[in-house]
Amino acid sequence: MIKRYLLAPGPTPVPPEVLLSMAMPMIHHRAPDFIPILESAKNGLKWLFQTKSDVLILSSTGTGGMVGAVNNFFNPGDKVIVINGGKFGERWTKIAQAYGLTVQEVVAEWGYTVKPADVDAILSKDKSIKAVFVQACETSTGVYHDIEGLGKVVKKYEDTLFVVDAISALVAEDLRTDEWGIDIMVGGSQKGLMLPPGLAFVSISEKAWKRNAASKMTRFYFNFKKEKENLDKNQTNFTSAVTLIIGLNEAIKMLQKEGLENVFKRHKTLAEATRAGAKAIGLGLYAKESPSNSVTSIEAPAGIDGQLIYKTLREKYGVTAAGGQDRAKGKIFRFAHLGYADTFDVITGIAALEMVLKGLGHDVALGKGVAAAQEILLA
């Protein structure tokens, strides 16, 4: 028998309390019983997003929220900047181009973060740019971009929206939506929020809603104006994902009980312990700048395929991490410490990694990485 441990950056483990809440009998999404449930979820998301604005709840993956962030606020031909530092930066570009936007990429080398000054230099020369799109955490590389710094830059340009994919960063990172001037921020259920896949969340500033009124793009399912009109009545535009929203309420209650600052501190500590464990056994970090608190990307030792490490972790020891993507495939593997994660998720991951490397013939002193992680966790 192999016991399974889920240490991937999504889907992430779901707490028993959330699972049990979702086991209640089904209720109708238009019935009076559902209204207070959705109202509670709406208020909880405002707390989590650190915003006074309502946060839309969509029945979709996070990518659906990204699509809606494009086709609700722009027109074909609009010029936008996309920060491309990995696979999900590339996704912003692909979505924007699919809807006819003119994309100027600011390319950050994989493993490195974007410099806000580089974005400022472009915006200062071209006031017609309508938006800056970025990932908070670039999940494919484990890099956290300077969202606060970018927000300060974009705030200076009254006709430019700041659009953030926070799908893997939400909960793990302190993202201050209103304070930092984030006009549109997208989240997803299956990451830090400790839920199954199936919900996307989108916060929208007043500045962005004004842009929505001028957008002529075709949309039907992801129609944010209609979603907002329904959310004001504690409903969704189409059939609500009732069970997931019930679970969302329970997950937010757990986070509120822990306290937002403690949630951020926990993720920071787990991330630092994971990085310390990897370094102690001689492995490098793929994120050369600003490693995220959501996921740690670790370089495979010379001569060992990172995909083999990832597969052996899962097949031999029951630990599901993640492999590298695209140009990083075979070069790295990734451990998440996100959502329903604690001390012994990190210890289990590092211990299993040591055993895998030893089994693959790599010279590693068993327990050295675990000890380094424990020192951080104890401190």
* Residue indicated by tokens 């930066």: 89
Domain that holds residue 354: 5-11+259-378
210, 234, 257 - which closes a domain: 257
pLDDT at 1: 84
| 232: CATH | 3.40.640.10
* Beta-strand relationship, 332-336 and 322-323: antiparallel
Give CA–CA dist 260/215, Å, rounded: 35
Q: Are residues 188 and 198 in the same domain?
A: yes
Last residue of a domain, one of 211, 242, 257: 257
Q: Do both 105 and 238 map to the same domain?
A: yes
Q: Which of 257, 281, 309 is the last residue of a domain?
A: 257
Distance between CA atoms of residues 373 and 269, nearest Å: 10
Q: Based on the domain organization, do 217 and 309 belong to the same domain?
A: no
The number of distinct structural domains making up the chain is 2
pLDDT along the chain (379 residues), means of 10: 94 98 95 95 98 97 97 98 95 97 97 97 97 98 98 97 98 98 98 98 98 95 97 95 98 98 98 98 97 98 95 97 94 97 98 98 96 97
| Full DSSP string of 265-319 | HHHHHHHHHHHHHHHHTTPPBS--SSB-SSEEEEEPPTTS-HHHHHHHHHHHH-E
Q: In one letter, which amino acid is 144? A: Y
* 275 and 204 assigned to the same domain: no
